[in-house]
Structure formats: C-alpha cells, structure tokens
C-alpha cells in the first residue's frame, strides 16, 4: 500500500507550510527532511521475509510528521511530482543497498507516482535503470509497484510494463481492488505480483463477498502465473483465510509496522512459524471435517437407497426431516444424466431459484460425470450456490444399481457461508 502511515495523523502545521509561499516540497528536499521506512513482506510457505516495501516519511519545520498524501498533493500543486518521485526513489534505493548486501535474495518493492505515465514521459527518464546501476542493485531485485487505476492510457501502461520487464525488473499492480481497479489489466499487463488492497482483505474471514472477490482475483492471477500479495493484514484470521485461498505473500501491521531501522528478525520468524503451524492445523482439521461429512453422507445415501429398494414409493421428504443437513434429494440416470422424478426440497423457493424437475439434464455437472467415472462411485462437490434455493450447498452424489439400471442419487447438503 503506497506510503501507508503507521501512525495516527497528528495535527499538521499547514499554516507554517503555507507561509513558505508554495515552496514546501522543494524545501523538504533541500532540508533533507524526507527519509525512508521499510515494511517487510513475508511468504508463509517459504517461512521467510522475501522483500521490503520502501515508504516515504517526512516532517515539517516543527518536526511534526507530514502525511505522505499531503506531500505528494502539494508536489502536484507546485508541479514537482516528477522531481519528488525521483528523489524519493533515489533515497529508497540508497537505504535499501545495505539490506540487499546483507541478503542478496531480498526484493525491494518500489513505488512511483503512477499518474505520471499519462504525461507521456520517456520511460528512461523515470530512471529505474540508471538508479539501479548507480547503487549496484540488480533489476531482478526491484519490484516496480503501479497503481493501475490511476492511469487512463492502458496501451501506455502496457508499454511501460513491457519496457521494464524486458530490462529485468519485476512488476506489481498495487492496491488492486481499490478505486476503479480494472480486472482486464491483470491479463493485459501480466504483472509478476498483484497486491490486493486492504479494503478487500479486511475482515475477509467474516465477509463472504470479499472472500469470493479475493478468490476470483487469486484464481485469475494463478492462471497467468502471477503471485498474490495481501496488503494491510492486521488480524491473524485474515491471514489464515487468505492462506486458505492459496494466497502466500503478506504485508501488514500483524507482522511488522514500517520502521526506519531493520525489523526484529527473531520476532518476525516467530510470527511466521506461528501462523504457518496454525494454517497446517486448520488444513488438517478441514480434511477431517470433510472426511466426517463424506462418512455421514454415505450413511444418509445408503439409508435412502436401502429404503427405496424396499419401497420405491416411499416419501423421501421424511429424510429431510430426519437428516436436517439435507436440503434436497433427487435421482439421475447414471448413463444419460437425465433426472428421474422431481427434486424433493426442504427450503422455500422463489421464481428465480427453482429446483430441478423430472427430465432435466445434469450430464454437464461436475458431480454427475465425476461420480459416473469414479471407482468409489461417489463424489462430494465444492461449495456452490444452489440453483434450487439460492443458498450455499455441497452435493454428495452416490452411484447405485436399482432394478437392473445404474442411477445416481444426489443430496444437496447445507453449509454455512463463512
């Protein structure tokens, strides 16, 4: 997250700044009142810090902290955005050099004022290459962070990214999901990393909509070979839910606040180990829960199948009352996928969500064709929105023989949305 302040905003001396007659930014540079903090970026699966993000800090003549947003807004007013951006970038690389010399695998996540791309400034003039050479830092260790939603010209954005990727730099889309983020730009730019904005990561373990959006972003990124980084994590449950979605890179206060000095490695290693062990424990618990669910579903289905074999006219609604977890029951021809008889459902439906009826075709549904080909003869689907009720469910399908024909009985099982 670009220049995210680790402290609550203090009262700023705006009057004192205004008294400088519009030379605030140039004065900050002249007084060397701009300095760099670093915040670590960690990989849980690799159990280490993989990089740091450089964050600008500054203060006024009274040594009061200035909001970075205010400073860059002021730079726009003074027409000094490009100069300030390059100055901060120089300071960041200078501060990063000793960290890189101590760990040659460390990445520097480097921000820049993305809106400047719409000025059609020469790519070379951004000086990423020349500054990297000046400080002797390989391009492959530098991640250029871009706020794509600040850039109007998609073609120019792609050209900029291609230009620096060709020179060995890594590209990250920053604050993705904030502002007017454009999903198409992930496939257009093909970044190495997508940093998901804090607004989507916040409370994701209790927000089903955010979880699904985050899942969609992660799936899209994986399909083009990009890594996903969750920004601004402040709660361990946010991290654990993100890990469950196969997101592995994290940055936020839970791990460490930005600091002018190097982070406490021992404490950070302890946190990484802790969250890694807790994730492993959750995965094992989830597997055990799934195994218990399959075992229970097997019991339900065989009870129903045995009853139907004895009495084909038996009222299946009885089983919805007996097994509260079952929302719907229906039967399919195992060869054609055609439903035999109407769905028996416990939930109320409306005009939009309607249960499948006799003669409906299920041949293209995953739980049908996997069950049909499975050696075990059954299958438990992933969670999905039921077209019968509009609620979240899983389908357990079991193949069985009845009156010389192969059939598949399907149970829609209720699940919680979180």
Q: Which CATH number characterizes residue 335's domain?
A: 3.30.450.20
On whether residue 155 sits in a domain, the answer given is: yes
Domain extent at residue 399: 304-414
- Determine how many CB atoms are found less than 10 A away from the CB of residue 226: 22
Question: Is there a contact between 314 and 307 (Cβ–Cβ < 8 Å)?
Answer: yes
pLDDT for the residue 351: 66
Task: Report which DSSP code applies to 338.
Answer: B
Per-residue pLDDT tens listing for the chain (418 residues): 333 333 333 334 434 444 344 457 888 888 888 899 999 999 999 999 999 999 999 877 777 788 888 888 888 888 888 889 999 999 999 999 999 999 999 999 999 888 888 887 889 988 999 999 999 999 999 999 998 888 888 888 999 999 999 999 999 999 998 766 678 888 888 999 999 999 999 999 988 888 888 998 999 899 889 999 999 999 999 999 999 999 999 999 999 999 987 788 899 999 999 999 999 999 999 999 999 999 999 999 999 999 999 998 888 899 998 999 999 999 999 999 999 999 999 866 666 788 899 999 999 999 999 999 988 899 999 888 888 888 889 999 999 998 889 999 999 999 865 4
pTM: 0.81
Question: Is there a contact between 56 and 3 (Cβ–Cβ < 8 Å)?
Answer: yes
Q: Which residue from 343, 342, 336, 334 is spatially nearest to 408, judged by alpha carbons?
A: 334
- Looking at the fold, whether 320 and 256 belong to one and the same domain comes out as no
β-pair type (249-250, 34-43): antiparallel
On whether residue 322 sits in a domain, the answer given is: yes
Of 263, 287, 313, the residue at which a domain comes to its end is 263
- Looking at the fold, whether 388 and 309 belong to one and the same domain comes out as yes
Q: Which residue from 238, 233, 393 is spatially nearest to 326, judged by alpha carbons?
A: 393
- Looking at the fold, whether 200 and 340 belong to one and the same domain comes out as no
On whether residue 272 sits in a domain, the answer given is: no
d(CA 60, CA 70): 12
Helix (H) or strand (E) holding 111, with range, is strand 107-111
- Looking at the fold, whether 104 and 252 belong to one and the same domain comes out as yes
On whether residue 408 sits in a domain, the answer given is: yes
């Amino acid at each position: 997250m670009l220049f995210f302040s680790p402290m609550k905003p203090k009262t700023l001396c705006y009057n004192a700044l205004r008294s400088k007659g519009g030379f605030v930014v140039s004065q900050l540079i002249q007084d060397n009142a701009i300095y760099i903090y670093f915040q670590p970026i960690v990989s849980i699966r690799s159990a280490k810090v993989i990089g740091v993000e450089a964050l600008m800090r500054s203060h006024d003549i009274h040594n009061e902290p200035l909001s970075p947003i205010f400073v860059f807004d002021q730079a726009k007013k003074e027409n000094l955005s490009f100069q300030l951006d390059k100055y901060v970038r120089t300071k960041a690389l200078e501060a990063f050099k000793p960290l890189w010399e101590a760990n040659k695998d460390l990445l520097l996540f480097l921000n820049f004022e993305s809106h400047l791309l719409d000025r059609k400034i020469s790519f070379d003039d951004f000086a990423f290459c020349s500054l990297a050479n000046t400080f002797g830092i390989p391009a492959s260790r530098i991640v250029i962070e871009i706020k794509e939603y600040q850039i109007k010209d998609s073609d120019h954005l792609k050209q900029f990214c291609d230009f620096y990727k060709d020179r060995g730099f890594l590209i990250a889309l920053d604050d993705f999901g904030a502002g007017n983020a454009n999903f198409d730009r992930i496939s257009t730019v093909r970044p190495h990393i997508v940093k998901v904005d804090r607004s989507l990561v916040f409370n994701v373990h209790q927000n089903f909509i955010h979880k699904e959006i985050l899942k969609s972003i992660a799936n899209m990124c994986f399909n083009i070979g990009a890594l996903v980084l969750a920004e601004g994590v402040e709660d361990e449950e946010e991290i654990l839910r993100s890990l469950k979605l196969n997101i592995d890179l994290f940055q936020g206060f839970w791990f460490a606040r930005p600091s002018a000095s190097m982070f406490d490695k021992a404490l950070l290693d302890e946190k990484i180990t802790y969250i890694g062990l807790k994730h492993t424990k959750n995965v094992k618990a989830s597997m055990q829960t799934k195994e218990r669910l399959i075992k229970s579903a097997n019991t339900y289905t065989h009870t129903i199948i045995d009853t139907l074999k004895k009495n084909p006219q038996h009222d299946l609604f009885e089983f919805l009352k007996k097994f509260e977890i079952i929302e719907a029951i229906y039967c399919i021809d195992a060869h054609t996928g055609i439903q035999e008889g109407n769905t028996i459902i416990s939930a109320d439906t409306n005009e939009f969500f309607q249960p499948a009826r006799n003669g409906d075709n299920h041949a293209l549904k995953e739980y049908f064709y996997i069950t049909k080909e499975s050696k075990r003869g059954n299958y438990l689907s992933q969670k999905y929105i039921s077209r019968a009720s509009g609620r979240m469910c899983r389908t357990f399908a079991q193949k069985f023989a009845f009156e010389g024909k192969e059939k598949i009985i399907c149970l829609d099982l209720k699940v919680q949305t979180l």
